[in-house]
Chain A
Amino acid sequence: MADDSQQKDHPQQESETRAERSASSEASAPRPARPTATPQAQAPAARPKRPAPPPDPRVERAKEIAEKLRGVISSVLGDDAVEETGAAHIVPMVRVRREKWREAVQLLRDHPDWRMNYLECMAGTDYPEHIEIVIYLQSTSLGHFLCLKTRTPRDPAEVPSLVPVHPGANWEEREIYDLLGVKFSGHPDLRRIMLWEGFEGHPLRKDYDAWASGVNRIWR
C-alpha cells in the first residue's frame, strides 16, 4: 500500500524515471551488461527509483465511485457544486463547494442509491491557504463509505452547519469551532466545548502560539 500511494502521489515522475532507465540501458548496449548482470551492485542506487507498482485496484475503484458521485451531485446541485474528486487513501473522496455543503450532504442522505445516513467522523484541518472540513459518511443499509470535503478561507472561516441534516454533527462542529475557529452558520448552539469562554485563539491552527496568547497568562 505504501507503494501504491507513492505511485498515486508521483505517477508521472515514476514513469519518467522508468522510461529514462530503459532508454539508458538501451544506449549502453555495447558495454557489458553490468547493470542487469549485477543487480546487487545496482540495488542501492536504484532503490529510490523503484519501478512504479501496478495501481491499487482499491484506489482505482474509489476514484470511479467518486466520479459517479460527481454526476449524482452535479445533476441536482449544478455543475459547479463539485470541485474535485479523487480518493482519500482507499475511500472515494468528493470535494464540494462550500455554498452547497449542506445540500450535498442532505442529497446523499436522502438519495435512494446512496442513503448516507450515518456520520462517522468529522474533522477540520488547517492548511496554509485554507481550512478543510472532512466528513466520513457511511450508509448502514447499502454499505457505501465516502469521504466528503469542503474548503473555507482561513479568515473569515465559515461553513454551513450540518446539524439540520445530521444532529450528531452538533458537538463535532462545536469542537472544530473551538479548536480551529471555523464558524458554522446555522448551528443551534455554537459555543466553545473543550476550552472555556474567553480563551484566546484556536489551538489546532498551525499559527497558534501557546506562549503568545492566553494559556500561559494564568501562570504569571
Chain B
Amino acid sequence: MDERDVVRTEEMLLNVGPQHPSTHGVFRLIVKISGETILDAEPVIGYLHRGTEKLAENLQYTQIIPYTDRLDYLAAMLNNYALCHTVEQALGVEIPERAEYLRVIVMELQRIASHLLFIGAYLMDLGAMGPFLYAFQERERIVQMFNEICGARLTYNYMRIGGVRWDAPPGWLDQVREFIPYMRERLKMYDDLITGNEIFLNRVRGVGKYDTETALAYGLSGINLRCTGLEWDLRRKKPYSIYDRFDFEIPVGKNGDCFDRYYLHLLEMRESLKIVEQAIEQIPSGPVLGKVPKLIRVPAGEYYSGIEGARGEIGFYIVSDGKDKPYRLKIRKPSFVNLQLLPELLRGESMSNLLAILGAVDIVLGEVDA
C-alpha cells in the first residue's frame, strides 16, 4: 500500500548530523523521507579526514604508531597491533613470549572496553540512559589499567615493532585477574537488564536484516558479518599472534538483525574474558621487546595483513622501497567498509528505525575518515 494514498505527504530532505549525538562523531546523513518512510539515504563522510595515509609516507614506522591510535580511538590497542603486526611480518622479527601475552591481554581488554562502549552508546541511541552510565564504570576500570601500563587513557602508543614499550608494573596482572570475575558478574547484569527488556527487543528484533551473501558482497567484517551466521573471525581463520593457544568460542548470530549485532557484542566480551584469563595464567617472565634495529627498514616489497579488530578486520597494506619510511601505506578501515551497506538497509525503513540501524553498525568516525 502506498502511504501517500492515505495521508498526503511530500518528499523532503532531512539532515541527520553532522553534529548529532547519535552519530558518534561528525557524520552527516542526508535522508530523503516521505512521511515517516525513508526513501533514500546518503552518508556524507570526511569531516574528520586528516590524511593519515599521506602523513605516514613521511614518517618512520615507529612514528606511525601514534597515528594509528587516532583512527579508531575506542580500540587503539588493536590498531597499534595491526600496524606492528604487518611490519613484523615483513621484517620476520621474533617477538618475546611475554610481549605476545601482554599484547593479547591488552588487546582483549580493549575489545571489552570497546564493546562496552558500543552497548552503552547503542542503548542511549535507543533512549535508555542507564546502561550507558553502567558501561562507563567498567570501561573506566579498564582505562585505568591501561593508564597504569602505558600512561594514557585513550591514545596508548603502547605497542612497538618487536614487542611492547613497557612491561606491566608490579601488581598490574593481579588487577586484571581481579577484574575478570567482577566483569563476569556485570555481564550477567547486562544480560538481565538489557536482553530481557521487552521495549528494547521490540526496537531491534528483525530490524536492519541482511543475509550472508549481502554481507560478503559488501565486504563487511567483524560482528557485522558474523551476525548473519557466518563464522568468520580472523583470530581463528588466519591465526596471528598466539591466539592458537587459547580456548575460546566464536559466537555467531542467526538472523542478521540489530538484535544479533547487539547480542554478539555481549557474547564476545565473555570470550575475551576467557582469553584474558588463560593468558594471565600462562604468561611467562622475560623481556618485552625483541631485537629490532634502531632504524627499521622494511625490505622492498608489499605486505598486507589484517587482524580482527573490535569493529571488523583492520588491516595495513604497506608498499616499501627498502627505506625507513613506507612508500605507500593503506589502511583497511572496518568502519568505513561496514558503513557502505547503510543506505541499502535504510531504504524503506521507518524513520524511527534509523538510529537503531545506524547505531548497530558500530562506526567510529575517526576510523571512517582516517
Binding site for B on A (CB under 8 A): 1-6, 8-9, 88-89, 91, 117-121, 123-126, 134, 136, 140, 143, 145, 147, 166-172, 175, 179, 192-196, 203-204
Contacts and interface: CB of A to CB of B under 8 A. Distances in A.
B91 A88 contact: no
Contacts, number: 104
Contact of A168 (B89, B219, B299, B302): B219
A6 B299 contact: yes
9 contacts: A1-B92, A2-B299, A91-B304, A120-B306, A121-B317, A124-B330, A167-B340, A168-B340, A171-B337
B304 A147 contact: yes
A89 B302 CA distance: 6
Interface in B233-275: 237-238
A192 B337 CA distance: 16
A149 B219 CA distance: 18
5 closest Cβ contacts across the A-B interface? A1-B92, A168-B219, A123-B330, A5-B299, A168-B218
B301 interface: yes
B146 to A, nearest CB: 29
B217 A89 contact: no
Interface string B105-143: 000000000000000000000000000000000000000
Given A120-B315, A120-B332, A121-B330, A168 B217 contact: yes
A1 B90 contact: yes
B49 interface: yes
Contact of A171 (B217, B328, B336): B336
B232 A140 contact: yes
A171 B340 contact: yes
Interface string B17-46: 000000000000000000000000000011
Interface residues of B, number: 41
A9 B300 contact: yes
Interface in B291-338: 299-304, 306, 313, 315, 317, 319, 327-328, 330, 332, 336-337
A179 B369 CA distance: 12
Given A2-B92, A2-B299, A136 B304 contact: yes
B51 interface: yes
Nearest to A89: B303
